[in-house]
Structure 1
Amino acid sequence: MKEKKPLHSAMPDAAKPAADLHPRRTSGIPGLDKLMEGGFLEKDVYLITGTTGTGKTLFCSQFLWDGLQKGEKGIFFSLEELPQDVLHDGEIFGWDFKKYIDKGDFIIKYEDPFEITDITTVVKESVKKFGAKRVVFDSTSIFGMVFENEHELRKRLYQLIKALKETDAVILMTAEILEDSKGLSRFGVEEFVVDGVIVLNYLGVGDVSTRSLLIRKMRRTDHSKDSFILKIGKSGLSIEKERTI
């Protein structure tokens, strides 16, 4: 008797789910990819959000490092940290980003938020010209220092996110939220425009403190709804196996 082929193997591309038409890129965070069908979808934008000290920038740097090990070019756009600080932070975990800068595979692009006039054009053109497959934008929270008018601030953020979705890269953006805030971002617009939201929390009880990770939203992905313990070790972040909160 001949073995029957799975039905999905005979489906034309046009009939396949949208997620199947774009490859996924691994997160670089041990234990995370299996919680979201193998990784981040190409051409999508994701928000990494949380309060101060939860590991947002570290998460993004680890994502970029993972890509470099797989031959995927990356760009780190920073409105906060200077390039030398990004390099130093990476060295703590054994990530030699400078080697990839010298090879022409990685860029750390610092932009002074008070001097740049059109961040959307700069970011979009840089990604396309460099051919980046992984991009980090750190951080959307700085927009509040630049645009005092709330309407203008929200409009600029919306334009930036929509422009990034037109590239071929996976985009991670960070957003810092205030302590005790019930929102997912500082300005309440990012989470509605992006394709996914990962929330990092810092829980402290007495002398014991724990970081956690929750995939709050991820379009076209069957993802876990649980909160997991997030550990920082010598090699960076990792999900503590089978430990939910």
Structure 2
Amino acid sequence: MVNKSESDSDKNPKVRFYKPERIKTGVPGLDNLIEGGIVKGSSLLISGGTGTGKTVFCLRCLWEGLQSGESCIYVTLEETAGDLRRDALGFGWDFEAYEKKGKFKFVEKNILEDTNFEFFDVDKMKASRIVIDSISLLSLVVEDKSSMRGRLQELVKSLKERNITTLLISESIDEEHLSILGIEEFIVDGVIHLKSMPMGKMAQRTIEIRKMRETKIDEGIHSMEFCKNGIKVVG
């Protein structure tokens, strides 16, 4: 006999209790704003102006992955791998040690030239986190602007199929335009906006989670500051 008081969710506990797997960002104060971390395999746009902390934010997320035993990749079209290594060492992050172990790789190449990703061993490394720095610069080196949206969508889709968490760095123009092309924020699962505003002789840095799929987010604007271990959300 069927218990009429039994709800559909009671009959199907998988639906009732489903929770996506999440990964830690490593940024103190951030994960509790996004239900404990980023959904594994999702894509995020990290948007902000010059000096807002986009690169440090992304390096910190990759460093957290390495500490958890993951393999990670940083694709850079702007800064050299050497500069990034030195910047990271300033926070105590020795990426070169993980490069020697085959767990990490800097790639200095236009990622849209080969969306099979064979040129930087994403499948061979079994990478679980990747940063692309930056989508804004890609828009300058790709001649056919009309195909840019489709190629970006293909890129995000291919990485998602591999269950790779992807952070796409982009320069924001203003509050309403978080990317150069104006399309990036619509093809990703989440958007994090970083800002830096002059406050006398100091700069007031903030972080705002604009959207994040499968996540109940804190929609406020929170203070953020650089510290000896990278960056942290402080309020």
Could you tell me the TM-score, scaled by structure 1's length? 0.86
Q: 1:62 aligns with which of 60, 63, 83?
A: 60
Aligned equivalent of 1:228:
222
Structure 1 residues 11 and 34, CA gap change in structure 2 (3 angstroms): farther
Aligned equivalent of 2:184:
190
Map Cα deviations across residues 156-212 of structure 1 (whole Å, 9 max, x no partner): 22222222221122111101123x462121111111110000000011133231110
Q: Secondary structure at the match of 1:188?
A: coil
Q: Share of identical aligned residues, percent?
A: 39
Aligned equivalent of 1:238:
232
2:112–2:151 Cα contact (<8 Å) kept = no
Deviation at 1:121, TM superposition (A): 2.2
Q: 1:144 aligns with which of 131, 139, 146?
A: 139
Map Cα deviations across residues 100-159 of structure 1 (whole Å, 9 max, x no partner): 111111111111x4xx77242227973222101111111101122123443122222222
Q: Secondary structure at the match of 2:99?
A: helix
Aligned equivalent of 1:38:
36
Aligned amino acid, residue 145 of structure 2 = E
Q: Secondary structure at the match of 1:121?
A: coil
Distance 2:9 2:91 in 1: 42
2:25–2:31 Cα contact (<8 Å) kept = yes
Runs of 4+ in 1 over 4 A off after TM superposition: 7-11
Q: Secondary structure at the match of 2:216?
A: coil
Aligned equivalent of 1:29:
27
Aligned amino acid, residue 134 of structure 2 = S
Aligned amino acid, residue 177 of structure 1 = S
Distance 1:9 1:66 in 2: 37
1:191–1:197 Cα contact (<8 Å) kept = yes
Q: Secondary structure at the match of 2:223?
A: strand
Structure 1 residues 117 and 174, CA gap change in structure 2 (3 angstroms): closer
Q: Secondary structure at the match of 1:120?
A: coil
Q: Secondary structure at the match of 1:47?
A: strand
Q: Secondary structure at the match of 2:116?
A: helix
> More displaced, 47-56 or 75-84?
75-84
Q: 2:126 aligns with which of 114, 128, 131?
A: 131
Unaligned ranges ≥5, structure 1: 1-6
Structure 1 residues 45 and 204, CA gap change in structure 2 (3 angstroms): same
Aligned amino acid, residue 218 of structure 1 = M
1:120 lines up with 2:118 in the alignment: no
1:162–1:193 Cα contact (<8 Å) kept = no
Aligned equivalent of 1:210:
204
1:171 lines up with 2:169 in the alignment: no
Q: 1:101 aligns with which of 99, 102, 110?
A: 99
Structure 1 residues 110 and 118, CA gap change in structure 2 (3 angstroms): same
Unaligned ranges ≥5, structure 2: 1-7
Structure 1 residues 95 and 12, CA gap change in structure 2 (3 angstroms): same
